[in-house]
Structure 1
Amino acid sequence: MKKIIYLMLAILSCAIFSSYVHAAERGNAEEAQAMVKKAVVYIKKYGKDKAYAEFNNPQGLFRDRDLYIVVFDMNGLGLAHINPRLIGKVTGDIKDADGKLIFHAQRKLAMEQGSGWVDYKWPNPVTGRIESKSTYLEKFDDLMIMCGIYK
């Protein structure tokens, strides 16, 4: 009986530890917002070209676990993204797994409120799976500076 209890405690401990490790692998809403604010300051200080180079740097200041900066202009041109295939491309018609036009929702929010969150589904670069994502954005000049969290 003691062996069963010890085994159950060991399994429970592993499950609890695993959930803490999983949570630590993911960024949270506060961290995403802070990264966007840091990115806006970086653009103001160093200019757009230097900022885009840093945002696109896989080992740069703006990569943390599953958090990364994305920048689009208001026409949907990708200027910074973890996926280099989206940089320099007009991506305004990209849909998520449910058919939602992501850029259109982001642009509408940026134009109407200047900042906020947009929900959709997107591939997680850490897990490789399509996951629910919520992206925080701030409009800066003619840009949308964004960082999302996977749920």
Structure 2
Amino acid sequence: MQISIAEELRATKSDAEAMVKKGVGALKSGDKEKVYSDISAKNGPYTSRDLYLVVYRMDGTVLAHGANTKMVGKNLIDLKDIDGKAFVKERVELAGKNPHFWQKYKFVNPETKKIEPKQMYCERLEETIVCGGIYD
């Protein structure tokens, strides 16, 4: 079976889980502001192919964003995908009930610039949610 170049550029579920755990570990053991800065850095240690981390406060405010630093400091609780799903609100609600979870929604892939199905793996860390997603 031959793998297309597009498939080679896509992260897997295990890649997302490992990257989130890497971010959570760094946040637990280090200077949170430095780690947030590293997560938001273009081509930094928390990005790989189409995978990047996003960290939210439990109110939906972005603390770090690996694909779009303009989102840092913004409250995205009311953000909806193309189907009208309030995915950040759902993410916050899921984090309130689960220490870790997968969530499905649709989002613009920064590599293809197209809206694609996405799955986001998230872990709750104190009053934050650390997430990394893959595109289907």
What is the TM-score with the length of structure 1 in the denominator?
A: 0.86
2:101 matches 1:128: no
| Corresponding residue number in structure 2 for 1:35 | 19
1:40 counterpart SS class: helix
Structure number with greater CO (CA < 8 Å, separation at least 6) is 2
The code of the aligned residue for 2:28 comes to K
Match of 1:104 in 2: 89
Alignment-mate amino acid for residue 135 of structure 1: M
CA shift digits 1:56-76 (9 cap, x unpaired): 001210010000000000011
Where structure 2 has 5 or more consecutive residues not aligned to the other structure, the ranges are none
CA RMSD of aligned residues (A): 1.1
- What TM-score does the superposition give when structure 2 sets the normalisation length? 0.95
Aligned length: 135
User: What percent of counterpart residues are identical?
Assistant: 36
Over 3 Å off, 4+ runs: none
**Which protein is richer in helix relative to its size?**
1
**Structure 2 residue 30 is matched with structure 1 residue 59:** no
Amino acid at match of 1:97: I
List gaps (5 residues or longer) in structure 1.
Answer: 1-15
Which one has the bigger strand percentage? 2
Provide the rounded CA distance (Å) in 1 between the counterparts of 2:101 and 2:132: 11
Aligned counterparts of 1:71 and 1:118: Cα–Cα separation in 2:
15
Deviation at 1:146, TM superposition (A): 0.1
Matches within 5 A, 1:2-81: 17=2, 19-81=3-65
| 2:100 equivalent to 1:141 | no
Bigger Rg, structure 1 or 2: 1
